[in-house]
Structure 1
Amino acid sequence: MFEVEWPWIFLLLPLPWLITKFVTNKTQLEGARLKAPFLSKHSLTQQQTAESKTSIGKTLAAWLIWLSLLASASQPMWVGEPITLPAEGRDIMLAVDLSGSMEMDDMVINGQKVNRLDMTKFVLKDFIQRRLGDRLGLILFADTAYLQTPLTRDLNTVAQMLDETVIGLVGDKTAIGDAMGLAAKRFAAKDNSNKILILLTDGQNTSGNLQPKEALQLAKSEGIKIYTIGVGADEMLVKGFFGYQKHNPSADLDEKTLSNIAKETGGLYFRARDAGELSKIYAELDKLEPISEEAIQLRPQTSLFYWPLSLGFILTLLLTLTPLLFQFKMQLSDKLSAKLNAKPEGAK
């Protein structure tokens, strides 16, 4: 069926007439006419008749332009037949560490060294695109935790927000407790939900208002299942005074705390030393059983605003170009008449 979202906008239809009626100074117009008493009644009548015909056409075109603009602004649309979509999925909140240590380039993608955040983005992008039917949210944490994207089925927006993140955006430290507390707060209003938090970090809690133990109690009270992922390679060659030496870049990773958080909430702790391991982890998370909800009914809508807008644009062009074309035609006609009436050279 055809629908108009804002029909009240047609109340503005008489606005140009009201402006003309109350704003135009009639006294000045009458005074201008009195300044030409030498014009005869006959000449005035002929001039007024010609001007009247032109004026009626211009007025009609102007009203059609105004009507088309109002019709476009009223948001006309075509609403299709209802479509019922089964609502079955999970509520998953992603918490991604943006601390300074995530800049360490101890990861490899397609044979090229990259930092931990780039590797996380690379693998998470595919994970997000596979979450059809799920609701995803995104939390970024460093010195404290921020909600970047609330729970939504708009997976493209979540992926874009993750892709736009940069290290140092929210500080250099690691507030694991704040990230868990913020997730618990966002899940508090979700009753019929499996409430899953995937927390990805490469360090230990060094900042924030909540300690992990306190945040763990909040998560348990809300029934949140937490899957923790420790990111970072086990060894890395570092050039020193005596040549290359092996170095553990993940020495600061608090695996004990992450394992305990996962165990206490019924989740799992994973160790991601490279992109391949992280991909396997997300494959395991794909197996989580979704929760069925009430079916969602949608009606596809097709916006039609461009049709009246196009009509108004065409009428505006015609109204603007017609006098110019008429003037050009008259000038061309005068030039042709002048050439025809000109006497040839030598003629008496």
Structure 2
Amino acid sequence: MFEFAWWWVLLALPLPLLVLLLPRKPRHSGAALRVPSLTADMQTTNQKTGPNKVLLVLAIVAWCSLVIASARPQWLGDPVSIPTQGRDLMLAVDLSGSMNQEDMEINGRRVNRLVMIKKVLGDFIARRVGDRLGLILFADTAYLQAPLTYDRATVEQLLKESQIGLVGEQTAIGDAIGLSIKRFQTKSESNKVVILLTDGQNTAGNITPQQANELAINDGVTVYTIGVGADSMITQGFFGLRTQNPSRELDEDMLTELAESTGGQYFRAKDTQALQQIYSILDALEPIERESRQMRPLQALYYYPLALALFLSALIASAPILNWAAQMFNRKSS
């Protein structure tokens, strides 16, 4: 179906005709200013040839094209049904300095925790057909990067662009959950699920995890927490190789309490495979029924008449120069 988004702009099509109705000033005889030879030659040429009908037609077509482009022509495709059931998932990702710890592996290559989360969480987002996703990044405090939306590609792109230290170096777990709860308050029909990924303990923020826990219980928000980080890691020390625990600061008791008290579950992601298994469990969350909705794909067409208007305007603007060039060529030939 073809339509104009702003059809009323088409009323401006006869506007140039009003110029013919305007009163004209009488020409006064007398001394005239001397003009450069280029302008004089152009005026002389116009006097000899009279009004150029071709330029007039081009100007009319250019004006009509410009008005049509301003009316925003567009093509509406056939209606497409949006899934009537799905989940509302708010993803809260830790960007604190400890996420730079390289204790994870992807295809045999050692990477830091955030790179691993981006890889696996990206696959998780791609499978969320029919779900609304939101993204919160937190460190010293929590920031909303994407509200709940069906646009999974944008959420995944914002996750890929996130960087460690972007919002600080500490860990504000309470703020991340509190902000997630606030975003759910405008969603009446929602299963309100928060998936929080962190590798540490709460060290910053305006809300404590305990306060956030109470808010989640009161608002019916289910929190799933994921502790990220390996249990052991071999490093090169002064006296040779030694084994250390890179996740010693992970507060698993607090994360377990946050999850279980809200009806969720705490998961431990020690490697990429464990995190993938966790997402498989989250895939089984019961979706909620929503009202049936339809959308129609829209394709903008305004750039076609706009390009034609610009092209014709360039031709009209260059016409006097072309006439002058032709006049000079004829003079030299004669």
TM (norm. structure 2) is 0.87
1:114-151 CA-partner distances (Å, limit 9, x unpaired):
11111111111111111111000001111111111100
Counterpart AA for 2:196: L
SS at match of 1:121: helix
> Which residue of 247, 251, 260 corresponds with 2:248?
251
- Give the Cα separation in 2 of the matches to 1:241 and 1:298: 64
The alignment's TM-score, normalised by the length of structure 1, stands at 0.84
Shift of 1:110: 1.2
Which ranges of structure 2 fall in alignment gaps of 5 or more residues?
33-43
Residue 20 of structure 1 and its aligned partner are, at CA, apart by 9.8
Structure 1 residues 72 and 258: CA distance shift in structure 2, 3 A:
same
Quote the Cα distance in structure 1 between the aligned partners of 2:145 and 2:115.
18
**Contact in 2 for aligned 1:198/1:226 (Cα 8 Å):** yes
The equivalent of 1:282 in structure 2 is 279
Partner of 2:235: 238
Q: Does 1:126 align with 2:123?
A: yes
Match of 1:53 among 15, 32, 51: 51
| 2:201 pairs with one of 177, 200, 204 | 204
Mapped to 2, the partners of 1:241 and 1:80 lie a distance apart of 67
Where do residues 50-199 of structure 1 align in structure 2 (5 Å cutoff)? 50=48, 52-54=50-52, 57-199=54-196
Q: Could you say what secondary structure the match of 1:136 adopts?
A: strand
Q: Partners in 2 of 1:321 and 1:188 — Cα distance?
A: 60
How much does 1:224 deviate? Answer: 1.2
SS at match of 2:194: strand
Q: Which residue of 12, 31, 36 maps to 1:35?
A: 31
Q: 1:175 to 1:57 in 2, by over 3 A?
A: same
**Aligned residue pair count:** 323
Shift of 1:256: 0.7
What is the CA–CA distance in structure 1 between the aligned matches of 2:209 and 2:17, rounded to whole Å?
A: 68
Q: 1:293 aligns with which of 286, 290, 295?
A: 290
3-state secondary structure, aligned to 2:135 = strand
Alignment of 1:6 onto 2:6: yes
Q: 1:192 is matched by which residue type in structure 2?
A: E
Amino acid at match of 1:111: G
CA contact (8 A) 1:84 1:296 kept: yes
Q: Distance in 2 between matches of 1:122 and 1:3?
A: 42
Q: Which has the larger radius of gyration?
A: 1
Partner of 1:217: 214
Which residue of 1 is the match for residue 37 of structure 2? none
Distance in 1 separating the partners of 2:220 and 2:260: 13
Instruction: Please give the alpha-carbon distance, in whole angstroms, between the structure 2 residues aligned to 1:57 and 1:218.
Output: 73
How much does 1:162 deviate?
A: 0.7
1:326 to partner: Cα distance: 4.5
Say which SS state the counterpart of residue 319 (structure 1) adopts.
Answer: helix
Measured in 2, the distance between the counterparts of 1:160 and 1:25 equals 60
CA contact (8 A) 2:82 2:130 kept: no
* Partners of 2:4 and 2:73 within 8 A in 1: yes
Alignment partners' CA distance in 1, 2:326 and 2:24: 35
Q: Indicate how the Cα distance of structure 1 residues 242 and 278 shifts in structure 2: closer, same or farther if over 3 A, else same.
A: same
CA distance in 2, matches of 1:19, 1:262: 73
* Cα deviation digits, residues 6-51 of structure 1 (max 9, x gap): 23434555766778998x9947xx23x4438xxxxxxxxx998745
* Residue 320 (structure 1) shift: 3.7
What is the identity, as a one-letter code, of the residue corresponding to 1:35? A
Q: Does residue 220 of structure 2 align to residue 228 of structure 1?
A: no
Equivalent pair of 1:86/1:294 in contact (CA under 8 Å): no
Identity, % of aligned pairs?
A: 51
1:319 Cα deviation after fit: 2.0
The answer on whether the counterparts of 1:233 and 1:273 sit within 8 Å (CA) in structure 2 is yes
- For 2:226, the aligned partner's letter is I
